[in-house]
Each structure stands twice: as C-alpha cells, then as structure tokens.
Amino acid sequence: MFSPTHGGRCRSLLTLSLLGLLGSLLDVSRGHTSQDEDYYIRELLSRELYSRFPGPEDPASFSSEAPEPPSGERPGPKTAKKDLKDQRVKSSQTDKISSDAKTAKPGNKKVEKNKKGSLKTPNSISEGEGHYKPAREECPPMGLETLKIDDFQLHASTMRRYGLGAHRGRLNIQAGLYEDEFYDGGWCAGRTDPLQWFEVDARRLTKFTGVITQGRSSFWSSDWVTSYKVQVSNDSHTWVTIKNGTKDMIFMGNKEKEIPVRNELPVPMIARYIRVNPRTWHSSGSICMRVEILGCPMPDPNNYYHRRNEVTTTDKLDFRHHNYKEMRQMMKVVNEMCPNITRIYNIGKSHNGLKLYAIEISDNPGEHELGEPEFRYTAGSHGNEVLGRELLLLLMQFMCQEYLSGNPRIRHLVDETRIHLLPSVNPDGYEKAFEVGSELGGWSLGRWSQDGLDIHHNFPDLNSILWEAEAKKWVPRKLFNHHVPIPEWYQMKNATVAMETRALIAWMEKIPFVLGGNVQGGELVVTFPYDMTRIPGRTREQTPTPDDHVFHWLAFSYASTHRLMTDASRRICHTEDFAKEDGTINGASWHTAPGSMNDFSYLHTNCFELSMYVGCDKFPHESELPVEWENNRESLLVFMEQVHRGIKGVVRDVQGRGIANATISVEGISHDIRTTADGDYWRLLKPWGVQNLSQSPGLHAGQQGVRGHAKYF
C-alpha cells in the first residue's frame, strides 16, 4: 500500500501507526448524537449524517463477516470469536409457559437443505467465476412492511410520480382499486435505464443479510424487476457493490408481480445504507419494486434515535409463531397451568380435517352461569393473517399468568365473564402461509379455505332478506327485526359453504354470545356493521345499523386504547387514513361485502360482532410479536370489558322459572334481542344514557318480567 522510496520505510510505518490510532478514535466516537437534533428536518434539508460515521476517504469502514476469500485476494477484517458467539446467543424464556412449550425453530421460515445437509445457495448469478458459500445468518426484516422504517428513510434515484415514490416501495403495500396520484402500489422509477436505484437508510450501522422484492401492486399494469445489484455505503456517497468472487453479483428478481423473492447476500455486510440497483425488468413493463431488507442493527448504546423509539415488553410469554401442532401444545400448557379456569374444546373440523380448537376462560368452565355474559374472540379466518392467531395465544397465556398472580382486573374479568378464544378459524390456510414463511407468502397465499372460500364473507346474506321485508312492510308481522332465519338453500349439502363456516354458525347458535371480535390483519382499523351497502352496485356507502351509536362506542373502545390506531401522525398502511376517523369505520363505507360474519352475527343472534385489523403486516416476523403484543394488549382487555355495558336481567314466569326466547326491546332502537334458555339477557347500550326497556307481549307485570340494571365502568 505504501512504497518505501526516498528512505520512507520508517515514514510509512509511522503513517500506518497514525492511521490505526485515528481509526480507533473514530470507532470510539462513532454513534454519538445530540439529543436535540431534529432528525426529520435534517433528513429533508441536507441528508447529513445523524451521527458520526466514516467518510468517503475511509473505505475500510465497511466490514463483512466473510469466510476466507479465494487465493490472490486480500482478506478483509475478521470479527472476534467472542463477538460472533455473543451474536448467536438468544435470550431464553424464563417463564414456565415458554419453557414447557415446544422449542422454537431457528428463524421464521423453514430452511431448505440439500442431501448433504448444507444450506442452498442464494438465488443469484455472478458476472465472474468465483462463488462464496452463503453465510446464512437469520436477521429479521428491518420493517419496511411494518412501517418501522419511516418514509424519510426511503430514497430513490427518480420516480414516475408522487404516488409511485420511494415511500411506496414497501413489501406487500397495496394500491387497491383506486390507483391515483397519491396511493399507488410500489416505487416506479421515472426512467427505464440501469442507473436507477432504491435506497434504505437504516440510521445506524446494520448487518445486512438479504433483500426481498416484489413487483408493483396493480390491476392494470405488469411491472417488476427481473434482476438487480446490491450496494452498501456508510455515507450515501461512496458505494460498494456486493460481489460474488471478483465480479459484481447480480441477483435474480421476480417472475411476476405478487410472489416475493428472497435473496441472501453471500456474506453479511455492515453498513448504514443499502441500495437495490435494477438491471433488467419485465419486457412489457417498467422499473417498479416493492422491497423488504433483512438486517440486524449493530449494538450502539449511544444511538439516541433508536432508544427513543424502542418498544419493549415485560411480559414473559412465548413470542413466536406456532404451527398447528405447536398451537395445540400451547393451549394444553395453559390448560395445565390454570385447570380451574380453562377448558379446551373444538367446534368442528376444517376441510382438511384439522380440529378448530377453542379455549374457555371462566371461573366455572364448561357451564353457562345465570347472569354471566359470554364473550368470544376469533382469529385466522383468513389463514395468512396470522398476527391475530398469535395475539390470542398470547392473551390466554397472559390471563392465566395474571389470574394466578392475583391481578384484580383479570380476576374480576374471569370471575364475571365466560370468555372463549378461537385462535385459528382457517388452520388449512395458515399451514400454507407458514410453510413459506412470514415474508414470502405475498398478500393472499393461505387467505382462503382449502376449497377456495373466504370464510369471513361466506355467511348467508341476511341483510337483503331484512331490507326487502322492511320495504314490503313485513316487519314485524312476517319477519322480526332480529334473529332473521337462515334461508333453506344455504343449509343444503350442495351449497357453497365452507365446513369452517358451518362450524362457526353452529357454535354461534349454541352459545348465547353477547359480544365478539374477529381479529384480522393488513390494516389498522376497527370495522363494524353493516358491511354491505343497501343499494346494489354501490361499492362503498355509509350503512348504519339501528345500534350504530353502540357499535361506534365499541369500536372506539378498542381503537382508542391501541398504541397506533388513533395516532394522527402515523403513516397509513396502504391507501386509507383511518386515523382521521378515530381508527374506526363502518364496514360498508370502506368496501361492501355481503355475507360477513359481523352482519350475520348481528341479524341472526344476540351477539354484536366487530372486526379488528391489528397491523399493517398480515404475517409479521416473530421478532415483531413483542411489539405487536404491546400495541394490542390493553385494547384486547378493554374490549372484553365492554360486554358488561348496558342492561342485563332475567325474565321469569310466576313460578320463578326463566322464560326462553322472550323479546327484549329498547325504545328508539328497532333491533331487539331474545332471552336465553334460562331467561337471562344482556342488552348492550352506549354509556351515559338509559333507554326505556320493554318485554315481550303476554307477560304480566307481577311476573317480574324484567329485572335489570345498568352497569357502567
């Protein structure tokens, strides 16, 4: 590197020593920031560094944890063995639930091996002959899809228009039907040449290990990148291209626009910035991408930006994804820990014969107690929306632990409520999504049942039956405004009805549920009935129920206690800014859908059902589960507590026996409920107002027809 001419051998040695000293000082100072810096303004105005990182004159600042390169090449800096060991050590769960449950597999998807047991090479080709063996280190997604990476961290060489800017280049982002100037389905370059790039600023040193790409989400265009290069930098000015041997590595991209393709770097690269440089693209399209970056943040206690945004949990739960067998095992562990308040049962089977397991949490499991309301949470009707599944598994662990520790809030909830948790309505679909992993299933793999049906919208359309009867003045003479019967054609064996849907209906009819929530994913919003517009052909229109004010309250009780749903400053998931509506929306005003579980539950049973969309990412990496639990824990508890809102009582005859199927009406609300087999009832009402209550005709006043009280929290 240095030539010893002009008697300069000593000078060269001195120079090397000084450079080494300066490098050490630079390493010590790396990461120091001022806590008063406004990172967003700096990013917009100058894109200067937020903390001190090596400059262009210091190419040695890049480090890669690589095997020995081929002979003839200079080896790069090595990582200390102790550091490598520390990076491989994972923190163990100290809680009994975690230790009793089945040990998690390394990583978040199945790792393919060849016959000799070695890992498969990345999906890439090289311009040279040399090949490195990949160092498969499992680093999680950095968070483009989950919005952990904000818009100011995404940059691009050019953009076709604002709606196709770098901020839209997130894995699985959706354009929807209305592709417009602001909300389109990916990043698209303004020019079609090999000089275009998409850049992510990690805002700290990060060990980059891989890239996942998709094409543009669009009903009208076919745009995707078929090959690309990857570059890294510490200052966004001097870039190093990832190589395979001595030549630039070219990674194989997508073959169509929806299925994600994952590529591993030949060796992990430590840097702050990473770029994807498209080289070829679909012949009938243009340069458009959706991207996720795999990377592990390097330890940096001085990184103020990271510390001020870090969310942690103190709950000692089993934070990982559970396949069907592991889910059953987890439910069994909870039941064994809390046998006096839990019971496991199944409501039926899936198309592939997997049992639909539920767990009951109550002070008297297995029995309906007079005056005690029944509550349900379901999840996984769309098999690829797995966050809800894991949240319910976490919820049952949490409630068991807290009940045993004497938490008064949980004890009161369990003692006064019969709670049912059904974590996987569509286990067949989940197994499909789980097979490929959390980032590689795209937007829809595993969404439908095995026979191709959307379980959540596979219920009978009772809305049209009721609205037609109302138009003909048949209510209540020929048809009641509640408990609308299921049409005969729907109950025929050859009807297009999923086995899972039939099992749900039987469950809903058997147990007198009062309130329910189905946990879904892909957005951050709570929706409530009606989910179908009254006027045919209208794709979206506000369509309220007679209990619209009650549903508004119930939806807001969940959204307002969620950490993100009502945050007006948060980035939207896809195209809708639901935070402006307090994180809630009438289902039909979002998009119309006949035969929803919510509408069916309201019109056929006493149960008020809502949908909770609990995260932008349908299938988050398991490293995100602790954060998602913190986002939703309070909301899950608060919504359950709403089952006690309103008026409850028992309808009895003169002998004191409960009267079943007595109609309970509230003045001003044209939707009634019925008493259960024991004569008890619960009528959900909005707080701070008591309406006049009436009983079904034919009962005498002296018979104690209604005995109720309002209970407000």
Domains and CATH numbers, the chain: 33-67+113-310 (2.60.120.260), 327-644 (3.40.630.10), 647-711 (2.60.40.1120)
Question: Nearest-CA neighbor of 290 among 172, 177, 445, 143?
Answer: 172
Between 617 and 29, the more confident residue is 617
Q: How would residue 300 be classed by pLDDT, with cut points 50, 70 and 90? A: confident
Instruction: Determine the pLDDT at residue 183.
Output: 86
CB 258 within 8 A of CB 215: yes
Q: How would residue 391 be classed by pLDDT, with cut points 50, 70 and 90? A: very high
Instruction: Determine the pLDDT at residue 314.
Output: 86
| CA 339 – CA 346 distance, rounded (Å) | 17
Lowest mean pLDDT among 122-131, 197-206, 346-355, 603-612: 122-131
CB 661 within 8 A of CB 674: yes
Instruction: Determine the pLDDT at residue 5.
Output: 40
Angle formed at CA 427 by CA 422 and CA 428, multiple of 5 degrees: 160
Rounded to the nearest angstrom, the gap between the alpha carbon of residue 395 and the centroid of all alpha carbons in its chain is 16
Instruction: Determine the pLDDT at residue 245.
Output: 87
Tens digit of pLDDT for each residue in 667-701? 999 999 999 999 999 999 987 655 555 555 434 33
| CA 657 – CA 644 distance, rounded (Å) | 24
Is pLDDT above 60 for 405?
yes
Lowest mean pLDDT among 92-96, 128-132, 307-311, 642-646: 128-132
Between 140 and 10, the more confident residue is 140
Instruction: Determine the pLDDT at residue 253.
Output: 97
| CA 245 – CA 596 distance, rounded (Å) | 56
* Residue 650 to residues 653, 659, 706, Cα–Cα distance (Å): 10, 8, 6
The structure tokens 């630079």 sit at 26
535 CB burial (10 A radius; 0-12, 13-18, 19+): exposed
Share of the chain above pLDDT 90, in %: 68
pTM over 0.85: no
Instruction: Determine the pLDDT at residue 537.
Output: 83
Helical (H) or strand (E) element with 682: strand 680-683
Instruction: Determine the pLDDT at residue 482.
Output: 93
Lowest mean pLDDT among 168-182, 387-401, 621-635, 654-668: 168-182
CB 123 within 8 A of CB 263: yes
Mean pLDDT value of segment 342-352: 98
Lowest mean pLDDT among 232-241, 307-316, 630-639: 307-316
Mean pLDDT value of segment 229-252: 95
Q: How would residue 182 be classed by pLDDT, with cut points 50, 70 and 90? A: confident
| CA 137 – CA 49 distance, rounded (Å) | 28
| Beta pairing class for 288-297 and 240-241 | unpaired
Give the 3-state DSSP-derived string for 288-316, with helices as H, strands as E and coil as C: EEEEEEEEEECCCCCCHHHHHCCCCCCCC
Question: Nearest-CA neighbor of 578 among 539, 629, 523, 615?
Answer: 523
Mean pLDDT value of segment 652-664: 94
Question: Nearest-CA neighbor of 534 among 594, 486, 456?
Answer: 594
Share of the chain above pLDDT 70, in %: 75
| Helix, strand, coil percent values for the chain (each to nearest 5) | 25, 20, 50
Is pLDDT above 90 for 394?
yes
* Encoded tokens for 301: 């206690």
Is pLDDT above 90 for 485?
yes
Query: DSSP states of 223-284 as a string?
Result: --EEEEEEEEESSSSS-EE-EETTEEEEEE--SSSSS-EEEEEEEEEEEEEEEEEEEEE-TT
Instruction: Determine the pLDDT at residue 477.
Output: 83
Q: What is the mean pLDDT of the chain?
A: 82
Instruction: Determine the pLDDT at residue 695.
Output: 56
| CA 675 – CA 682 distance, rounded (Å) | 8
Instruction: Determine the pLDDT at residue 108.
Output: 47
Instruction: Determine the pLDDT at residue 263.
Output: 97
CB 391 within 8 A of CB 614: yes
Is pLDDT above 90 for 152?
yes
Angle formed at CA 174 by CA 173 and CA 176, multiple of 5 degrees: 170
Instruction: Determine the pLDDT at residue 689.
Output: 53
Instruction: Determine the pLDDT at residue 13.
Output: 39
245 CB burial (10 A radius; 0-12, 13-18, 19+): middle
How many alpha carbons fall within 13 Å on the CB side of residue 580?
A: 5
Mean pLDDT value of segment 185-191: 96
Centre a 10 Å sphere on the Cβ of residue 253 and count the other Cβ atoms it contains. 25
| CA 295 – CA 286 distance, rounded (Å) | 28
Tens digit of pLDDT for each residue in 533-589? 999 888 899 999 999 999 999 999 999 999 999 998 888 999 899 988 899 999 999
| CA 366 – CA 361 distance, rounded (Å) | 9
CB 348 within 8 A of CB 502: yes
Residues paired with residue 241 on neighbouring β-strands, in sequence order? 231
| CA 228 – CA 350 distance, rounded (Å) | 42
Lowest mean pLDDT among 410-424, 473-487, 509-523, 607-621: 473-487
Instruction: Determine the pLDDT at residue 311.
Output: 72
Question: Nearest-CA neighbor of 531 among 467, 478, 598?
Answer: 598
Lowest mean pLDDT among 597-601, 639-643, 708-712: 708-712
Is pLDDT above 70 for 417?
yes
| CA 521 – CA 64 distance, rounded (Å) | 37
Length of the chain in terms of residues written: 713
Tens digit of pLDDT for each residue in 47-76? 333 233 333 334 333 344 333 333 333 333
Question: Nearest-CA neighbor of 424 among 377, 365, 375?
Answer: 377
| CA 206 – CA 142 distance, rounded (Å) | 9
Mean pLDDT value of segment 256-272: 96
| CA 689 – CA 362 distance, rounded (Å) | 30
Instruction: Determine the pLDDT at residue 694.
Output: 56
